[in-house]
Amino acid sequence: MGVSRVCTDDELRSLLLNTTTWAVVGLGNNPLRDAYSVAHTMQRRGKHIIPVHPTAVEVHGELVARTLHEAVLRVDHIDVVDCFVNSSRVGAIVDEAIEVGAGAVWMQLGVIDDAAAQRATSAGLTVVMNRCPMPEWRRLVPELP
């Protein structure tokens, strides 16, 4: 399991409450995938979601970007890159997040890459690994829907 520095509850709460733009890598049109429902919930909670997917065109009313480089052209800054990809692929996504100047990388449940997490941390990004924002939201901000 991951051994990188663990975010504190205050850092997690700050990511959930004080960020606006979330690029969701792996968010396509399949409503059976966790990325679909998590992104929709985050959108309902006020987040600007940018789907990043190789083949989808539009998800939750948002135009899909093929890469993070394409996504960052649409906004001033990506606050969080939410990674719904296999652990074997997340390193390249983390490197791209560093390149585009994202503020944080959130690796979903089961997505673990300690080397990528260390690269991101060294580059100044906040890193969350092997967690999902939905249970963290319920745990840390229970008064919000």
pLDDT in tens, 78-126: 999 999 999 999 999 999 999 999 999 999 999 999 999 999 999 999 9
Domains and CATH numbers, the chain: 9-140 (3.40.50.720)
| Residue 142: band (very low, low, confident or very high) from pLDDT cuts 50, 70, 90 | confident
pTM as predicted: 0.93
Q: Are 48 and 22 in contact (CB under 8 A)?
A: yes
Q: What is the pLDDT of residue 1?
A: 41
**Longest CA span, the chain:** 37
With a cut of 50, say whether residue 4 has pLDDT above it: no
